[in-house]
Amino acid sequence: MLGLADRGRILDLFDMIMKGDAAAALTELSAQYADGADPMAVLRDLAEVTHWISVIKITPEAADDPTVPPDEKARGLGMAQSLPMRALTR
């Protein structure tokens, strides 16, 4: 895997973190590490997801990027609608 994490698993981890489910988030992070994900890459991916969702919250049209798969787009839009900006900036 060379340190690359599955984007769906990163979104799952982000969702667990934003819900405050520390036990599930740590379990998922541990599982990703066991599967070969580089912890620094996971943190970088989480930062990118946070930025992406923040942009979608401000400008929903940003989710129409053709390089984003439909399932990621739907999850991103859902998270952008449900998460307050103060939580995303924290």
Per residue in 71-90, pLDDT (tens digit) is 999 999 999 999 999 998 88
Q: What pLDDT, on a 0 to 100 scale, did the predictor assign at position 65?
A: 87
Q: Return d(Cα 10, Cα 21) in angstroms, integer.
A: 15
Per residue in 17-74, pLDDT (tens digit) is 999 999 999 999 999 999 999 999 999 999 999 999 999 999 988 888 898 889 999 9
* Confidence bin at 2 (pLDDT 50/70/90): very low
DSSP string, 39-54: HHHHHHHHHHHHHHHH
Is residue 69 a contact partner of residue 52, using CB atoms and an 8 Å limit?
Answer: no
- As a whole number of Å, the end-to-end CA separation of the chain is 30
pLDDT at 1 over 60: no
